[in-house]
Structure 1
Amino acid sequence: MKEELDLEAMRVNLQNWFESKLPRDSEIILAPLKRPGDGMNETFFIELQWRQGKKAKQENLVIRWPPRDISVFPKYHYDMKKQYMLLERLWDTAVPVPRVRWLEEDESVLGGPFYIMERVEGWVPGEFPPYHVAGQLFDATGEEKARIWWNAVDTIANIHTLDWEKAGLNFLGVPRAGTDFMERQIAYYDEIYALNNEPMPPVLKATRGWLLKNSFEPKYISLCWGDARLGNMIINEGEVVAVLDWELVFIGDPEADLGWFVHMDWATSVGRPDSPFPRLAGLPDMKETIAHYEKVTNRKVENLFYYEVFATWRMAIF
């Protein structure tokens, strides 16, 4: 009951906030906030209606703000301004993202900073349960599955081949030459694990040591999504129309994204620690996937195993 009262108070505050953003003669109606379900940030769907003169208008929007009671990541991880700037600068590039509309850093409105973006119509390949056993991708024809998969790989390739400097994304932090990229990554996940207040198990310590000992200078430095998986893509008519959840974004080795993408597909099927099941039939296999990625990026994938190990370690840290 408390959550409903809080959401209603937030709705009222938001409606008052919109009145300061829209034309003065607008008659604003904000429907109750609806939660679609999300991980790292608080995410709600909002339906905004207003009238200007005799003309009625409506927009379906999404609002995001940092989680209130979750400490999975360091506090600076939930940087709403950084997320807003990233989406704003990716808009109108080859990387499909929702269009952001407003950023509010005044915490008095909702108790924390937030941003609002347009809602993108479509569906997301499920993870609970995984798309390997149920959902729209599971029910699709073999041809449809392949089309969606290849479009997802093409989208990741577009992220990795984007001219991130031209797009003004240096604010994400650029690794120095040498092994600085992986040293930064390991240090970041050390911070995450430290929030558990528990000693790191020997197997994770050993893997951490192996990753550092075998680190190398990336051949390419690209924009990397950080959470590359089908479950973070909106699909509409067989095409990826939006890439979501950029909280883990970084500038670094694009093969780290590829390793995570491969790992997440495996970890939600045959790699499940409990009750594993076969990978969804009809999806191109990983050998074909890597070959396709290499073709569209004109880059040879050389260190996938290393980044699959990194992905496994990351997953264990979470």
Structure 2
Amino acid sequence: MTARAQHATPGSAYAEALAGVPPFSGLRITGAERPTATGFAGLTLFVTTEQPDGTERKFVVKAAPWDTRVYPEPRIAEQYELLRVLGRDTDVPVPAVHHCEPSARLLGGPFFVMDLIPGQVPSDFPSYHRQGWIAELPAEDRARLWWASMDAMSQVHRVDARRLGLGFVAPPDGGPPGTTQQLDYYERHMEFFGCAGDPVLSSALSWLRAHLPAEPGPPGLLWGDARLGNIVYGEDLRPAVLLDWEMTGLGPAEVDLGWFLWMDRFLSEGIGAGRLAGLPGHEETVQRYGELIGRPLAPLPYYEILAGFRFALVTSRVERIVLAARVMPPGVPLALHANAKAQLGRALARITGSS
């Protein structure tokens, strides 16, 4: 079954496909649904089961169908192993994982199964800056949520990646871990993302190459897609779990912080929305984050341009997938990618002094 056809499979067929897969063996699957508020990187299923004692238990299945993959390699096995190690050996809040299936036979691509953790997740579309439960919070609670998110992310950056043997999260076809490795990786895959020859992306890559900073220390673990929308929050507004590790790798903590700040800016300034009152500002966040990880941070503008470059690559790939699926009329640009590229262009102009 092709990935696109598999995406159209009703819940009952998903349940039938998963029936013999651990941890579902011996449990009755009572529901298998695709949530509407998930990202673009593959297939997500919420699976509800009934245990032998009649109690209900819920799981998440994360799959990477080949035809609609956002990243060059699905790296499902690496995500599974990373979450397994983090859950076993660290305090990083991650969901428990139960099974990794390397075959594409059942869901059109490899997948893994993890616990579904209840809680609230900030919305990207529509942006949490415009509406939703964060917009409805008092300003002081928004600040509390922001700092709790920084605390949780800093736990990732305090992980001893070498001691835990996490070298497998680095891109599979690169050199020594670090920022240069990331640039090499994305440059090799410009055609995959649909950005080969794009003037804005090419200019950003050239600038990033020319202004590469010294690495601030040994490469550590990176979350990758670090943002509010990938955090499940409990009733106390603290992160219950950090989600979506498709972009994980090794490098300086500044890579994740730059991405976090860039994505927050994209979901406000980048789409013409005002930023919510109460959320701490850029300088305050950078200063506090250095305190959390125990060292001064390297200048963030470089890592924010890096974030904008990577994000525009991802949105370009998403646009290609959406157009191929005929979700939008041919020739109609996807606002997501147009906005991402425009924000990157403005940031480059500011940093280079060009008009």
For the criterion TM > 0.5, the same-fold answer is: yes
Q: TM-score, normalised by structure 1?
A: 0.87
Instruction: Kindly state the Cα deviation for residue 159 of structure 1 after the two structures are TM-superposed.
Output: 0.8
Structure 1 residue 218 corresponds to structure 2 residue 222: no
Q: Deviations over 1:8-33 (max 9, x none)?
A: 222112123359x64xxx4x321231
Distance 1:187 1:158 in 2: 27
AA matched with 1:243: L
Give the equivalent residue in structure 2 for 1:171: 168
Equivalent in the alignment of 1:145? 142
Residue type at the aligned position of 2:17: N
**Following TM superposition, by how much is the alpha carbon of 1:71 offset from its aligned partner in structure 2, in angstroms?**
4.3
The CA deviation at 1:198 is 5.7
Distance 1:6 1:266, change over 3 A: same
What is aligned with 2:243?
Answer: 244
Q: Give, in angstroms, the shift of residue 214 of structure 1.
A: 1.4
Residue 299 of structure 1, CA deviation: 1.1
Change (3 A) 1:73 1:107: closer
What is the rounded CA distance, in whole Å, between the counterparts of 1:230 and 1:168 in structure 2? 28
- Tell me the SS of whatever aligns to 1:60: strand
Correspondence for 1:73: 71
2:128 to 126, 131, 136: 131
Deviation digits for residues 12-59 of structure 1 (CA, Å, limit 9, x no counterpart): 12123359x64xxx4x321231112332021110011132xxx33431
| Pairing 1:256-267 to 2, within 5 Å after superposition | 256-267=255-266
**Does 2:210 align with 1:209?**
no
Q: Counterpart amino acid of 2:259?
A: W
Which amino acid counterpart does residue 260 of structure 1 have in structure 2?
Answer: W
Identity among equivalent positions (%) equals 32
Q: CA RMSD in A?
A: 2.2
Looking at structure 1, the residues matched to 107 and 199 of structure 2 have their Cα atoms a distance apart, in angstroms, of 42
1:158 to 135, 146, 155: 155
Tell me how far 1:70 sits from its aligned partner: 1.5
CA change 1:242–1:150 in 2 (3 A) is same
Q: Which amino acid aligns with 2:255?
A: A
In structure 2, what is the Cα distance between the partners aligned to 1:198 and 1:217?
A: 27
Contact 2:65 2:109 in 1 (8 A): no
Partner-residue secondary structure (3-state), 1:84: helix
Shift of 1:202: 2.5
Q: Give distance in 1, aligned partners of 2:194 and 2:106.
A: 33
1:116 equivalent among 96, 113, 137: 113
* CA distance in 2 between partners of 1:229 and 1:185 (Å): 19
Rounded to whole Å, the distance in 1 between the matches of 2:308 and 2:139 is 29
| 2:229 match: secondary structure | helix
- Aligned residues of 2:29 and 2:49 also touching (Cα < 8 A): yes
Tell whether the 8 Å contact from 1:71 to 1:195 is kept in structure 2 after alignment: no
SS of residue matched to 1:112: coil
Measured at CA, do residues 11 and 131 of structure 1 come closer, stay the same or move farther in structure 2, by a change above 3 Å? same
Distance 1:198 1:152, change over 3 A: closer
1:126–1:135 Cα contact (<8 Å) kept: yes
- SS of 2:67's partner is coil
Look up the match of 2:41: 40
CA distance in 2, matches of 1:162, 1:89: 11
Q: 1:72·1:195 contact (CA, 8 Å) conserved in 2? A: no
| Aligned-partner Cα distance in 2 for 1:196–1:304 | 25
* Alignment: residue pair count: 302
TM-score (structure 2 length as normaliser): 0.79
Unmatched 5+ stretches in structure 2: 315-355
Q: Aligned AA for 1:222?
A: G
Matching residue's letter, 2:222: C
Residue identity matched to 2:41: M
Task: Tell whether 2:227 aligns with 1:229.
Answer: yes
Task: Say if 2:222 and 2:253, in contact at 8 Å, map to a contact too.
Answer: yes
Equivalent position amino acid for 1:223 in 2: L
Gaps of 5+ in 1: none
Instruction: Report the CA distance shift for 1:199/1:16 in structure 2 as closer, same or farther (over 3 A).
Output: closer
**Greater mean alpha carbon deviation, residues 193-202 or residues 117-126:** 193-202
- Tell me the distance in 2 between the aligned counterparts of 1:110 and 1:259: 34
Distance 1:6 1:157 in 2: 40
Equivalent of 2:305 in 284, 306, 309? 309
Structure 1 counterpart SS, 2:41: coil
Given the superposition, is the C-alpha separation of residues 269 and 111 from structure 1 closer, same or farther in structure 2, using an over 3 Å criterion?
A: closer
| Residue correspondence of structure 1 range 274-293 to structure 2 within 5 A | 276-293=272-289
Q: Is the Cα–Cα contact under 8 Å of residues 255 and 304 in structure 1 kept in the other structure?
A: yes
Cα separation, partners in 2 of 1:158 and 1:205, compared to 1, 3 Å: same
Distance between the aligned counterparts of 1:114 and 1:292, measured in 2? 37
How big is each residue's C-alpha offset from its partner over 1:66-102, in whole Å with a ceiling of 9 and x where there is no partner?
Answer: 034314321x2x1211110000011042210111011
- Partner of 1:311, secondary structure, is helix
